[in-house]
Amino acid sequence: MGTPGQGRVRSLVAGLGAATLGLVHYLGGVTLLVRETLGHAASAPFRRRAGGVRSFWTQAVRVGPRSLAVVFLVNFFTGVILALIGGKILLALGVVDYVGDLLGVGIVLELGPLLTGIIMTGYIGAALTAEIATMVVSEEITALKTMSLNPVRFVVAPRLLAVLVMVPSVTILGDYVGLLGGGVVATGVLEMSANTYLEHAWESLDVEDVWRGLFKAAVFGLIIGAVGCYQGFQVRGGAEGVGRATTQAVVRSIVAIIVADAILNYFLLFRL
């Protein structure tokens, strides 16, 4: 017979082990889904039927325009807030002209991709999970399998690839709007000339910084699409299960994006 303390230790170890195995299983499932999707995408040009291209285009049109308004709104006011806070500090130091440098690097390299990814998680990731989960509940996925049609090819691939392409595209536009928001504060509150602001914002950016931001946006898009689609296939139950799967997809995608952002910043800024 063990002591109560030993029982609590065993329970803790068992809980940690179960959580670790669950995480490994989840990551493995997402990875296998991504691998299969990319395999179908690589073989698509060699197929005679162009249905996959039409499906991809349909999903891309849905993904991009749907989130533009809220992405623009959030990025604009992010630029405003960053310019107000940074401008206050730089004004006290007598180097207020460098607010353009702050906005250029801060928006393009970090806040633009990160906020766009989080916003599109709520808009697109949730929609992907709800759509696929509804198809699972209504047995449409089972019908595809019965007709010898691969659900990954016909359901997942167009959606995941559309998100992978459109998140960086929307991020670029969001970066411009964020810089515009900072420019409004720089010219209206900090009394800078528009030329000075734009020169500093432009000169602060290297081509590598732009590509780093776009690479991060592409990784975030891959996370949104992969987690959203995978979570849709894991639904259990009816309408309640669809809602639960959607909530889990959004939460897990946001956590994964933030963790990936930290890891990418370390390697992109200090190792590459």
| pLDDT digits (tens), the chain, 272 positions | 557 667 788 888 888 888 899 889 999 999 999 998 888 777 765 565 555 678 888 888 888 888 899 999 999 999 999 999 999 998 888 888 899 999 999 999 999 999 999 999 988 899 999 999 999 988 888 888 888 888 888 889 899 999 999 999 999 999 999 999 999 999 988 888 889 998 888 888 888 889 999 999 999 999 999 999 999 998 887 778 888 999 999 999 999 999 999 999 999 988 76
**Range list of H helices, the chain:** 4-43, 51-93, 99-105, 112-120, 126-137, 140-146, 151, 157-188, 194-203, 207-233, 239-270
Q: Is the pTM of this model over 0.95?
A: no
Q: Cα–Cα distance between 180 and 77 in angstroms, integer?
A: 10
* Cβ atoms within 10 Å, residue 98: 15
Which pair of tokens denotes residue 269? 């800024």
Relative orientation angle of helices 207-233 and 157-188, to the nearest 10 degrees: 140
CB within 8 A of 166, min separation 6: which ones? 60, 63, 64, 221
Q: Cα–Cα distance between 68 and 220 in angstroms, integer?
A: 16
What region does 173 belong to: left with phi over 0, alpha with psi -120 to 50, or beta?
alpha
